[in-house]
Structure 1
Amino acid sequence: MLKLSNESKVGILTAVGITLLVLGFNLLKGKSLFNDKKTIYAVYKQVNGLQPANTVEVNGLVVGSVQDLDVMDKNAGRILVTLQIDKKIEIPKNSVARISSDLLGTKKVQVEFGNAQEYLESGDTLYAAVDGSISDAVMQQLSPLVSKLQGTLSKVDSVLISVNGLFSVENQQNLSATIANLAPTMRQLDGVTRSLNQKLAENGSIDQTLTNLATFTSNLNSNNEKINNILSNANKAAAALGNGSLDSTLSNLQGAVRALNDLMNSLNTSDGTLGLLLNDKKLYSNLNATMVNLNHLVEDLRYNPNRYVHLSLFGKKNKVLPIPSDSAQ
């Protein structure tokens, strides 16, 4: 049997340990011990905190891991991400490798399949995209609230400054003096209120007024139909007046007034018969005398008809009767 020296045993154990350490380190980094993966690349402008060994998922299923991240230029404007994906997964060429995160902030690469009929081979490059982080979404939602809160705080600050100005030493003294002066006024007001209550209790005029008001309101309600009829008639009269009947009536009245004025003018002048009768005293006297004589003639005819009609068959002369004095007037 081959006998190994202590130095050989130490060397073998050291080599085995180094091998296991390298394999374990690669395993922790997401590198498979067997070559059953294909390597796919994606180029990002920023990786949003992506680290090696983060998972690669398709439709929520873990199909690989992030193998490495390399900076492609001095400004770190382009970052090459190496992905190891299961060879059994066929990825269309127009698919997108999107960096996203869960609620806990763990980063992952989500592969969104395209509709191309050609598939990626090992060494090909995927289209890259980055979702905003949850903190970015939260900040986007909170930004309007923060702006409003800042405006509110500025207003509150202004109010507090005004309040501090109101509660200065001088204003506090003035307020104390005002409160002290207000106490006698409140006592006087209380006395006035009590006196008013006593007067109201002694005198029932307000109750009577309210009763009368209720009665008046009841009468209005009971005569509502009559009031409506009166208003309707008033509307009809207003409509009739508005239609022009008032104008024609006024015009006719003005014509009648003018005719009456003409008649009065003719009576006041001596041109017409009526004017002569009214204004000529001599004519009036003659007419009056004529009427008196005519009256005498009628009375004489009534008492002495034989004087005017002779009916005697024998030629006898009739006696003439005197006219009564009352009839001759």
Structure 2
Amino acid sequence: MNFAIESISNDILEKKLQSKIDTKTKPVGALGVLEKIALQIGLIQNKENPELKQPTVLVFAGDHGIAKKGEVNPYPQEVTAQMVYNFINGGAAINVFCKQNNIALKIIDAGVNHDFKEIENIIHAKISYGTKNYQDTPAMTQKQCATSIKKGAHLVTETYNNGCNIIGFGEMGIGNTSSASLLMAYFTKNTVAECVGSGTGLQTEAITVKKSILSKVFDTYTPASPLEALATFGGFEIAMITGAILKSAELKMTILIDGFIVTAALLVAHAIDNKVLDYCIFAHASEEQGHQKMLDFLGQKPLINLGMRLGEGTGVAVAYPIIESAINFMNNMASFESAGISGSE
């Protein structure tokens, strides 16, 4: 459970990278955020010529006990398993965008309330058949939470050992916006009402009910640590993503953060070790209303805002070409000297 995460701060390398960026055939700063991305990835990889190797998105799926009642989610719990089959069969948005941008995709059963047996094209990492309903009892035991974190870390290690150095995470789980809202309230100190949104499509009256239910849940517990909060309110998929984020940072991988649910997992990881932020690039701003407040809390700006709120890691996959552009200009764009162009005085 201990992750040795190092800061990417390196004054000497940063000056070299910045000089390389500034002497490209352009006005200083003219490529805006792309320049910041190139600098960050150079520092993460500790080299002047950073490269992107085998980009991968891991999608973790898990069910939530509260979803069985249907009070906080417009879709039945069975949709989680149905969507996992859609991922496996290549029919979801994340499949389309990963294929378009040559991103490897892995689907993980973290805790779906369904038996996938020995189906191929899925990683079997089930902790249990969904979490318990935190209206009655904590979502998972401390042991289950720890096991989830370790499994997420293990899957990242395997991906890293296969040559990947840039990774993103997605999720699927009916009811997981409720878990993310509770975790957000715990870590950001916003009220539950400020954290709750429409999820997969609740209308105004149903959102009011959701806020009331989750506020009562939140007031029932007093978690004493980030891990206890995760065990109390989280999902198996969120806990695995937390472990995956921490391990990715330890391995000095570039981490692409998706929307509301993945950022909730990041809030847990950040509370454990705030140096994880050094390795994170925030792909997009979700339309789920709490996400912008999460980004503000972390002091981060996303690359794109396209009104998306699908989850699955789709924000990561859509934003990935921007990351590629940053690395490509860094490595392939001429400098004033190499092009024989007079630079600014």
**TM-score, with length taken from structure 2:** 0.17
Whichever of the two has the greater Rg, that structure is 1
* More helix by percentage: 1
